[in-house]
Amino acid sequence: MHELAPEEHYRRLARVYLGSPTNEYYRPRIEISEGAAHLEIDVREDLYHAATAVHGSHYFKCLDDSAFFAVNSLVRDVFVLTATFTVHLMRPISSGTLVAEGRVVNASKRMFWAESVLRSSEGRQLARGNGTFMRSQIPLDERIGYRE
């Protein structure tokens, strides 16, 4: 089988992510590179909790997704799974863009550790997260949207 160039692997992973049904709602933007992922989601009022700021569940999504795809950038044959993820919420946001930067901090044959920082579009730190990820048995193929 022909080995994909790293950039093609990253583009295919981005297609998997952007094609997932939940992201029809979020309308994110993602860039994936070797051991890293950059994610952006525009703040909208329908992401707010009752106190008119973005709900923490959306912080989790940005942090986990960016760390997850940083890890999957290193895994070429299967989808990875989040095993654990810890979130530290620091400050609210009500406008602008959520910007998450995920990166792999350690990798072994079966387990990966990654962290992510969530900032506003102005660069203010909103939250941090870290987690462990493991290889699944779900192949990276067209059934999950992994294609040209």
Of 121, 142, 139, 113, nearest to 38 by C-alpha is 121
pTM above 0.85, yes or no: yes
pLDDT tens, residue by residue, 53-65: 999 999 999 999 9
pLDDT tens, residue by residue, 73-99: 999 999 999 999 999 999 999 999 999
CA dist., res. 124 & res. 134, Å (int): 31
Is 108 exposed, middle or buried, given 0-12, 13-18 or 19+ CB atoms closer than 10 A?
exposed
- Band the pLDDT of 48: cuts 50, 70, 90: very high
The structural domains of the chain, ordered by start, are: 6-144 (3.10.129.10)
